[in-house]
Amino acid sequence: MRKIFRPAPVWPALLLLPLLGGYGYVFLHAEAQWQVAILALAGVAAILAAGSRRVGAALDRSWRAAPSLLGWLAFVVAAALIYVLREDHFALLMVATVLLYALVCLGLNVQFGYAGVLNFAGAAFFGIGGYTAAVLAAHTALPHLVILASAGLLSGVVGSLLVLPLLRTRGHYAALITIAFAILFRTFLEVNDLLGGPQGLKVPGLAILGWSFNDSIVVDADTEFSFYVAYAGFSLVLFTIGLILVWRLERSWLGLSLDAVRIDETAASVFGFQVARWKILAFSLGNVLAGVAGAVYGMMTGFVAPASFTLAESLIFVSIVILGGLGNPAAVLPATVLVVVLPEKLQFIQEYRYLLFSAIVILILLFKPAGLLPRSLRRYFPSWGKA
């Protein structure tokens, strides 16, 4: 039987991606408060539309028609956005921050969305990464890529200290343990003079293969790129790797195992799942991602201090994951944009940001508990499912 050729309905996503890039540019450049507000509302409306059944299905179909083409295009659009913003320090800092926060949230998504382990110490693991980078880069001659890897590893190892109490408790009690750890971590930093106490530590800039990220990129006498271009680009690469990793995790027996353990521990153990093993895997992987992100963030901002890694920051991370959609790694990015960029652009929100976020999270939990972009059924491959 010969297959009947039908043109793939690839165009919705194909058009959407450049549009998103343009939106990002306009949004980052909007100055007047009313412009920002209108753009933000339009953005939320668009996200809600994408999460709706019909639009979502159309986007889904087009994504399935050419996943690798669209994946590459998304990456290129993001890279192009960074290039277009090449002289705008502030916008680039925003882009890099969003990508690094989103990387942390990918990790939290693995922990909470898949394994069901709620981590209220996300900022602490982010901070462990930052402090590791600060100490190692200042006192050793290790190549910075090794430092980034060590920051991730150390964050994972410290996380494993929490594993024992976490495995002995469930639900709210496990969450309380992570809260306790988050507070403990901050207090530990504040009283520890070796780590700079409340003042924190300076962090040397990132340098990879002799290329120092903190130098502006000089093209010729008249053109000079902001040094944030390098950080934004590097963060983009890291986030992309993280996203692919988490996607593959979900679309494999690993993701299935994590789901089984989260949904019904008893049934899972009767079918041979080592519940503890899977929780440990998810928890560690999430913390590694947070640690790496924290290291890059510390090197970018040049400075780590206890005040940046508070419980409140951890709550921000958790609310991003819930806002986007538990278990949907792709939802992390738009949700991070909303939570991180919006208060920066809308000054009048700035003071009330925590109040606003708590209100948003409560609204989401009440009316859209699956998040703005709910997770769909597992699709092991783009072609998986009914023909």
Partner 1 sequence: MNVLLDCRGLTVRFGGLTALNGLDLTLKHGETLGLIGPNGSGKTTFFNALTGLYRLVAGRVRFGGREMTGASPQDLYDAGIARTFQRSRLCLTLSVFDNLMIGNHRRLSRGLAFNLLRRRAFEQELREHQARSRMLLETFHPSLPDRLYDPAGELGMIDRRRVEVCRALIGEPRLLLLDEPSAGMTHEETHELMEDILATRARQPGLSIILIEHEMGVIERVSDRCAVLNFGEKICEGSYASVVADARVQEAYLGSE
Which residue stretch of 87-95, 121-129, 271-279, 361-369 sits at the interface with partner 1 (rule: CB under 8 A)?
A: 271-279
Residue among 223 and 252 whose Cβ is closer to partner 1: 252
User: For residue 292, which amino acid is it?
Assistant: V
Terminal CA-to-CA distance of the chain, rounded, Å?
15
Count of residues near partner 1 by CB under 8 A: 28
Question: Which pair of structure tokens corresponds to residue 223?
Answer: 């053109």
- Specify the DSSP element, H or E, that contains 320: helix 311-324
How far is residue 203 from each of residues 95, 162, 236, 298, 337, measured CA to CA in Å? 20, 27, 21, 6, 26
- Output 112 or 131, the one with its CB closest to partner 1: 112
- Let me know if 299 is exposed, middle or buried by CB neighbors in 10 A (0-12, 13-18, 19+): buried
Determine, following the binding rule CB under 8 A, whether residue 252 of this chain makes contact with partner 1.
Answer: yes
The answer to the question of residue 58 lying near partner 1 (CB under 8 A) is: no
Site track 274-313 with partner 1 (rule: CB under 8 A), x = hit:
x---------------------------------------
Binding mask 230-249 for partner 1 (x = CB under 8 A): ---------------x--xx
Helical ranges in 144-251 per DSSP H = 144-168, 171-191, 228-250
- Contact between 104 and 170 under an 8 Å Cβ cutoff? The reply is no
Look at the block and give the residue holding tokens 């010969």: 2
224 binds partner 1 (CB under 8 A): no
Kindly state whether residue 53 participates in binding partner 1, applying the rule CB under 8 A: no
Exactly one of 218, 267, 312, 359 binds partner 1 (CB under 8 A); that residue is: 267
* Shortest separation between residue 256's beta carbon and partner 1, angstroms: 6
Query: CB of 311 within 8 A of CB of 179?
Result: yes
Q: How far is the CB of 255 from partner 1 (least distance, A)?
A: 8
Identified binder of partner 1 from the candidate list 141, 209, 221, 270, rule CB under 8 A: 270
| 18 part of the interface to partner 1, by CB under 8 A | no
Site string for partner 1, 133-172 (x = CB under 8 A): ----------------------------------------
Least distance (Å) from partner 1 to the CB of residue 251? Answer: 9
Tokens of 336: 């991070």
Contact 13, 62 (CB under 8 A): yes
CB of 274 to partner 1, least distance (A): 6
Nearer to partner 1 (CB atom), residue 216 or residue 269: 269
User: In 191-304, at which residue ranges do the beta strands (DSSP E only) sit?
Assistant: 201-202, 207-208, 211-212, 217-218, 224-225, 303-304
* Site string (68-97) toward partner 1, x via CB under 8 A: ------------------------------
10 Å Cβ neighbour count for 19? 11
Number of helices (H), then strands (E), in the chain: 17, 6
Please tell me whether residue 198 binds partner 1 under the rule CB under 8 A.
no
CA distance 298 to 129: 8
∠ Cα 236 10 331 (to 5°): 40
Q: Smallest gap, in angstroms, from Cβ of residue 379 to partner 1?
A: 9
Question: Which residues are near partner 1 by CB under 8 A?
Answer: 245, 248-249, 252-254, 256-257, 259-260, 263-264, 266-274, 377-378, 380-381, 384-386
